[in-house]
Amino acid sequence: MAFNLIRQAVLVEGCITRPLVLHADNGSPMKGAAMKTTMEKLGITASYSRPRVSNDNPFSEALFRTCKYRPNWPTKGFATKADAQAWVRTFAS
């Protein structure tokens, strides 16, 4: 379930003491009681798309698509989180 994934990610990454914001759509899994309770316990602030605004998410989706179609995008994925962060730094500079 999604709330288990969020809990595991926060604990594994060791970011439990940092202020966290999770942006999600307005779908029922993200607004369900189990997810809300889990996020509250972990100190995560929810950020949702604005009501009746359908173009909040396409900008981030367009960025992901741009990255994935770059000639130097690794087709087999990144070996480590550090590799992914290094790639993004070179892309953004």
Which amino acid is located at 44 in the chain?
Answer: I
Encoding tokens for residue 14?
Answer: 């060791």
Residue boundaries of the structural domains of the chain: 1-55, 57-93
Give, to the nearest 10 degrees, the angle between helix 33-42 and helix 2-13: 10
Which pLDDT tens digit goes with each residue over 10-66?
888 777 667 788 777 667 777 788 888 888 888 888 877 666 666 666 667 778 788
Which pLDDT tens digit goes with each residue over 59-84?
677 787 888 888 889 988 899 999 99
Q: Return the CATH class of domain 1-55.
A: alpha beta
Give, for 47, the enclosing helix (H) or strand (E): strand 44-48
